[in-house]
Amino acid sequence: MDYAEKDFLVPHLVQNSILIPQIAELLREGKEVRFTPTGVSMRPFIEGGCDTVVLRLLAEVRVGDITLCDLGGTYVLHRVIAVDSEHQSLTMRGDGNLRGTETCALDKVLGTVVRIETPNGWRKPLTRGWLWNKLFRYHWLLLKVYRHSMARLYQRRSNSAS
């Protein structure tokens, strides 16, 4: 393998303003799209920069789905916590967020996560998050335990897989 081939295999960080419109176009064409999100707002279910998500444009969005939404040029990949069918909108929150929610019109949903994979190819269970939402008042504690134990273990495992 020469240098040019090695350089091609190195993952590159692409700005959301460039990447997400391309993802949206592929999803509208009925294709599945795979990418690695960044950030920690979906911990512990999606580890930003490590896990890969597979998206598909689904006919219906339900509570518990993890959706990619366009909030007017800002893009979020968060879990749906409420759907208001009367106003055609949904409320979302990152699993790792202790405060704050986003509201999005249903027509601004670009796609829904149908699969989450670890760096070594294992599929994570695609939970609907009902228990996590029931434990919302304890998220601060659960996330602290995760950060201090599981995140470090996860990083070691993903480093050894590379």
Contact 129, 95 (CB under 8 A): yes
Average pLDDT, the chain: 80
| Per-residue model confidence as pLDDT tens digits over 15-71 | 777 788 888 999 999 999 998 988 888 887 888 888 899 999 998 898 999 999 999
**pLDDT at residue number 72:** 87
- Among 128, 126, 116, 122, smallest CA distance to 158 is for 122
Q: Which residue has the tokens 């518990």?
A: 64
**pLDDT at residue number 144:** 75
Dist. CA 62–CA 44, nearest whole Å:
20
Q: Taking residues 147-151, report their average pLDDT.
A: 67
Domains and CATH numbers, the chain: 3-161 (2.10.109.10)
**pLDDT at residue number 42:** 85
Q: In 3-state terms, what secondary structure has residue 62?
A: coil
Question: Taking 80 as the threshold, does the pLDDT of residue 146 lie above it?
Answer: no
Contact 68, 75 (CB under 8 A): yes
CA-angle at 106, arms to 94 and 99, nearest 5°: 25
Contact 32, 56 (CB under 8 A): yes
Residue type at 145 in one-letter notation: V
Highest mean pLDDT pick, 80-89, 91-100, 111-120, 128-137: 111-120
Question: Taking 70 as the threshold, does the pLDDT of residue 153 lie above it?
Answer: no
